[in-house]
Each structure stands twice: as structure tokens, then as C-alpha cells.
Structure 1
């Protein structure tokens, strides 16, 4: 199974063919237009199911599935945590509980991590699921930690570890948080301003099935967005 997250930097209908060429089973797109925009007009392969959430028709979060996966927004969803969506994604063979993430800046300060920190506490009952994935654009990294701030990135990672939930990238490459050698964001698309802010956190069962993690190449993807995709493969 292959899951991909990518902040497309808007106008997804003009870029979808490039990410579809990576053959996802599950695709999570931030800054995605709503479903009325004919998003896959240039694609040979179309998703079997699509789900979109947002308040701006040009800039929400889209989840698209292939391999006959159905998508359901769980009743536990709390709209207070904008763009952190608890979903059931399943077909006849398997079911995944997915938190699709695109964190937003709070009204009164600039720490994106507050939103996801509060959300993981609210949705903690979901973390008992063996096939759990928390994936998307977190807009955070340990390099920006403020030690006195309880909801900094390092504390977020450590809280997830209490539930045996791991970053797939860091598990696969054996790198420490804040020491990533592959960037998922190039600020203003400049190669000299790389950051790693997109993540796929997974339950222990999925960690044991982790097959590959790929970060998209700067030279290709920054023609399309300031983010590169994060691609995660699991053994069947």
C-alpha cells in the first residue's frame, strides 16, 4: 500500500497528473481546490473515491483513494481542529484510521503545533487502532522548539511515542527529529531554504510493515509547489 501527502500550493487541477503518476493508493493533498474543479481532467487514472474539506473553495484539504478504498469522515470529528480530519479508509481487505493533517496558525501566536497537539489529545481513543496513520503538512519541526512551550514539536513527537506511534521517515532513515537530510519544504522555492515539515506518523504494526519512504526531488517538484511530496510504502 502506498500513501502520499503533498501540499500542492493550490491549483491542483493543473498538477494532479504528476502526483497520480506516483501511483498512490491513498492521496492526501493540502491547499487543494474543491471537487467541482475537475481536478483530474489531465489524468489517465481517476480516483475511485474523493473527499474534500474546507471553507475556501480554492484552498482546502483533499483525500483521494484508489484500489477501491472507501472514505468516511468519522463521527468523532471536531471542526474546532480545522483541517485535521479523522477518517476511515477501507476496502474489502483492510481498514486504516487516518488523521489527515494541514495545521493552521492560531489567532494569537505563530505556533502551528498547538492545533495538532490539542487534536491528538482529543482523538487519542483512535490511537488504539493497529492501522493508524497521521499524515500531512504539520508546519513544524524541532528546530523551532521553544522549551517553555508545552506543545512544541519535540513534545508532540514524544507524546505520540507514548502511544507507540512513530514518524515513518525517521524510522526508515534512522535520522533524529530536527536533523533531517531530506527537505519537504523549500521556503519561497529557494534551494538554500530547506525544511522538513511534512510527516507520516504510523502505528507500531505499520512500522513493522514499512517498506520505503521517498521524499520528492527539489529540481522537479519545486516547479509545481514549495513542498515536495512524502511517499510511504508498506508491505502487503
Structure 2
């Protein structure tokens, strides 16, 4: 199973071919336009299932299946967390729970970005299990931006997930430390000298045992299409 997240910086219909060459089973695309606007090229592979969430028809969160996987939003979904979506994934070789994430809620005075994830972790604590669980997307966060004394920061999100035996596939695969990542996923304003790691895939330990590869996109190629590069995780499942 190959799962990819890529903040496409809008207009996914024009860029889909770039990510689909990697033959994903599931892709999670922040800043994706509404499905009604997704007029792909005639030779572009068409998804088998789609979910989309957002208020701006040009800039929401798209979740796409390109295999037998099918999606169903869990009944516990809370709209207050805007674009953090709990999804039951079924129909493939394995059923699991997917949390598709774009941490971006300017309307929340407590915090626009990682605070959304922190709140969601508490609301969905019973749905986030230690087995067959993946959280993936643009978290808009990194330990380097932790604010002293603030509970809902990146480090506390990581620790909360670790209590559930859920870990970052990138940090596990490359033996990296949070906040000291060697591979950026965001280049602010597409400037190579402004690199940050803000896109993540977290997986429960039972799925991590089957992790076979993690790839972070190359700056030179992907900056033609977005200020983010993809995070690609492959599991032997």
C-alpha cells in the first residue's frame, strides 16, 4: 500500500499527473479544489473514490483512492475541527482508520494550525487506536515553533500520539529527531533557503512493522508546482 500527502498549492487538476506517476493507492491533497472543478486530462487516471472538505471551492482537502479502497467518514466527525477528517478505509487488503489532515482554521482564536490537531486528538481519542491507524497531511507545524507553556504545540501532539503507539513514518525510517529533520517538506515562498518540515504521516506500530519505504520529494522538481513536496509512504500490506 502506498499513501501520499502533498499540499498541491491549488489547481490539482493541472498537477495530478505529477503525483500519480508514483502510483499511489491513496493520496491526501491539501489545497485541492472541489471535485466539481476537477476536470482531469483525458489520459489522467481517474480516482475510484473521492472525499472533499472545505469552505473555499478552490482550496479544500481532497482524499482520493486509486485502488479498491473505499472511504466512509466516521460518525464521530466533528465539523468544529474543520479539515481534520476521520475516515474508515475498507475494501482493500486491510481495513484501517485514516485521519486526513490540513491543519488550517483561521477562525479559531486559540490557534490556527497545530492547535487544531491537538484538539482533534482529544475529541477523537476513542477513534484513534493503537492498531490500524494512520494520520497524514499538512500539519503546518514543527517542534521548532513550540511556544513555551502552550499545551497544544507540535511536541505535545507527537507525545500524545506516542502514547497510542503511533509514530511518524519519516522520523522512524530515517532515524530523525523532531525539529531536526534533514528533509524539508515546505519551502516558504518556494525559497530554497527557507526550508521546513511540516507534512507528516503517522502510523500505528502494527503498520510501521510493514513500512518498506519513505520518500520526500525533491526541491528542484516539485517547486515548479507547489511550495510543498510530497511525503510518500509505502507499506508491505
Distance 1:128 1:120 in 2: 11
Structure 1, unmatched stretches of 5+, are none
Residue number in structure 1 paired with 2:209: 208
Residue 157 of structure 2 aligns with which residue? 156
Tell me, yes or no, if structure 1 residue 181 matches structure 2 residue 202: no
TM-score (norm. length: structure 2) = 0.96
8 Å contact from structure 1 (residues 97, 129) kept in 2: no
- Given that 1:26 and 1:66 are in contact with CA atoms closer than 8 Å, whether structure 2 keeps it comes out as yes
Q: 1:173 to 1:222 in 2, by over 3 A?
A: same
Aligned residues of 2:215 and 2:233 also touching (Cα < 8 A): yes
Q: Tell me the distance in 2 between the aligned counterparts of 1:44 and 1:116.
A: 33
The alignment status of 1:12 with 2:12, answered yes or no, reads yes
Q: Secondary structure at the match of 1:30?
A: strand
Name the CA distance, whole Å, in 1 between partners of 2:90 and 2:39.
23
Cα distance in 2 between the residues matched to 1:140 and 1:157: 11
Q: Deviations over 1:160-205 (max 9, x none)?
A: 1011010010000001000000000000000000000000011010
- Residues 95 and 219 (structure 1), Cα distance of their counterparts in 2 relative to 1, 3 Å cut: same
Shift of 1:92: 4.6
Q: 1:105 to 1:44 in 2, by over 3 A?
A: closer
> Conserved in 2, the CA contact under 8 Å of 1:12 and 1:39?
no
Conserved 8 A contact 1:130-1:205 = yes
Alpha-carbon distance between aligned partners in 2 of 1:170 and 1:163, rounded to the nearest angstrom: 16
CA distance in 1 between counterparts of 2:33 and 2:195 reads 26
C-alpha displacement of 1:127: 2.0
Aligned length: 236
Mapped contact 2:134–2:201 kept (Cα < 8 A): yes
The two structures, once aligned, show a CA RMSD in angstroms of: 1.3
Gap regions ≥5 residues in structure 2: none
Instruction: Say whether the 8 Å CA contact 2:4–2:232 is kept in structure 1.
Output: yes
Cα deviation for residue 67 of structure 1 reads 1.6
CA-CA distance at 1:103 after TM superposition: 0.5
Aligned equivalents of 1:109, 1:151: Cα separation in 2: 9
Which residue of the partner structure matches residue 54 of structure 1? 54
* Separation in structure 2 between the aligned mates of residue 92 and residue 22 of structure 1, nearest angstrom: 19
| TM-score under structure 1 length normalisation | 0.96
Alignment partner of 2:117: what SS? helix
Instruction: Flag the 1:54–1:43 CA change in 2: closer, same or farther, 3 A.
Output: farther
For 1:47-104, what per-residue CA distance to the aligned partner results, in whole angstroms no more than 9, with x for missing partners?
1111111111101100000221111111110000010000011115321200000011
